[in-house]
Amino acid sequence: MRTDRNIPFRSSGAFPGSIANYGQYRWSGLLVGTVLGMSALLLSGCSDDDDDNETPPAVDETPPPVSTLDCNADSLQMVVSDATIDSATLKNTEQGQSYCRVDGHIITEGVTLEGEGRDGEPNQVNFMLSLPTDFSNRYYFVGLGGSAGYVPEPPEGLLAQGYAIAGTDAGSPTPGIDWTFAWDRTKALDYANRGVHLTTLVTQDLTAAFYGNADENERIYNYLQGCSGGGRMGQVETMLYPNDYDGIVAGAPGLDTNNQLFFGKVVKRIIDNPDAWVSPQELQTVEDMVVTQYDAADGVEDGLIWDHTRVETDLDTLGIFTPAQLETLRLIIEGMDDFGQSYPGFSVANPIGWSAFLLGATPPPWSLDPADENLPPAAYYIFDSQTRALFGPDYDFTESFDFGSSEDVNAWHNTFEEVYPGSGTAHPEDMQDFKAAGGKILYWHGEADNGISINGMTRFYDELAGQNGGHEGTRDFARLFLAPGVQHCGGGIGPQDVPDQALSALVQWVEEEQPPRQLVTHSAPSAMPERSFLLCPYPQTAVFNEEGDLNDAANWSCELKPLP
């Protein structure tokens, strides 16, 4: 899809994609010192009016491209003037696949957020590119979750399939879930969108030159895949840089600034009211009740809630929760709507996962010392580090932030949007250029996601459908698949290979114009019994055919669920 190859960075401050136009940033220039440096199984059991072409893809007999440049830094440095190539080394995977591993970096211009009075310093964005000996004319960018902060290793399975693979630390120095670096607004901008975009341009140009595909007649298909923060990277690309990628897999993407604000509201409530904490054992009781009542709603009792919207739970009937605990649970389920800032609640399909992300395995007061064995939940770390990034390293939300204050709540939301331009709340109307460019995006989300609400994902997709003439029109370029029993980006009792199957389906969609009617995914290898799962394009849902082995996806079908 790239139509802007070898566009130089403009000294006027306008990056490709016009990021210089974003909000409150004052630019003093652009670059300070950049130097010449899983098979998808697609069944045919679901009706889909726009998907009539079932002709199998033709086998390409063309020999794979081979490199035309040497694998050394000096040779590759001649290709790019916008980055420094630090090293280039021939390597082999454990399976014997040879590839050229390239490491490099880009120096980005410092930025200043107006009103803060702090001059921004330049930042270094590191990247890697792995170029296999046998190239399949496919380029793949590794989207990183959390706070990024490291250069990823190339997935060896994709190298074996001939993918050129790129990735970046996004200009972040801290891996995991630590965003305190974003008090440096240059690093914040690089993490928000600039780091991925600039390293995409450089590594795609290196790939084309390495294999002699700089001529636009030689097509290279460009893909990006990630989950959570990695899904966010893909979503941002669709909105700000719609020509960078042909296809994107975005798993449980971060779409809403208020997701993290909601984290803060939950943990602050528990810190201020320790008696409102709910234990993992009590959550297991809730889960057992939900499964008992709603497991058969999809036509079979298999221990899974396939459609979380069918669940209506009256927690009072359990008789085990105090009023303070009930208020905590209702907050998680119903979400927040405070002073104009809202976030939908979480699915109660598999609430046992809330301990790790929202409530903690042990009651407060929590300790940040691992030796104390009383660590807070992930939501605490995320909100704490983001709040320090927004308001300063010494800001302590447990003492200073008031969720009953309109000023505090709106300041948090608005400052986040300014500090991370283009990477806060996603707006469906901003994807129209990606659609017009022929881009395809495959979303997936776990029904039991305990970190990013599935209700937020479906709300966004419904809004996207409203922009594109309904779900039928939207499926031309964007499809959403929901995975039962899957927590945030993986784990849980549902399928564990959704990313692999989603990528394979996306490739067929982009290269063969065969949209994914369904995905067949699989349990973890250690699961007993082994099982395959049918995932359907939302708003369809999987229903058991009432005969055959329920552990075989072939015995399930995709149907539109009835209107309420």
The pLDDT score that the predictor gives to residue 284 is: 96
Q: What is the pTM of this model?
A: 0.88
CA distance linking residue 82 with residue 251, whole number of Å: 31
Structure-token pair, residue 170: 């996004």
- DSSP per residue, 86-106: EEEEEEE-TT--EEEEEEEEE
CA distance linking residue 48 with residue 42, whole number of Å: 13
Nearest to 423 by CA among 2, 16, 22, 1: 22
CA distance linking residue 61 with residue 147, whole number of Å: 42
The pLDDT score that the predictor gives to residue 297 is: 82
pLDDT in tens, 539-558: 999 999 989 999 999 999 99
Structure-token pair, residue 133: 């000996």
* Contact between 502 and 442 (Cβ < 8 Å): yes
The pLDDT score that the predictor gives to residue 365 is: 96
Beta strand ranges found along 136-212 (DSSP E): 138-142, 163-168
pLDDT in tens, 461-512: 999 999 999 999 999 999 999 999 999 999 999 999 999 999 999 999 999 9
Q: Which amino acid is at 210?
A: F
* Contact between 140 and 156 (Cβ < 8 Å): no
The pLDDT score that the predictor gives to residue 518 is: 98
Phi, psi of 336 (to 5 degrees): -120, 150
| Ranges of the chain with pLDDT below 50 | 3-59, 563-564
Length of the chain equals: 564
Burial of 132 (0-12, 13-18, 19+ CB in 10 A): buried
The pLDDT score that the predictor gives to residue 114 is: 83
CA distance linking residue 416 with residue 390, whole number of Å: 7
The pLDDT score that the predictor gives to residue 218 is: 73
Nearest to 90 by CA among 58, 130, 125, 56: 130
CA distance linking residue 68 with residue 409, whole number of Å: 56
The pLDDT score that the predictor gives to residue 33 is: 32
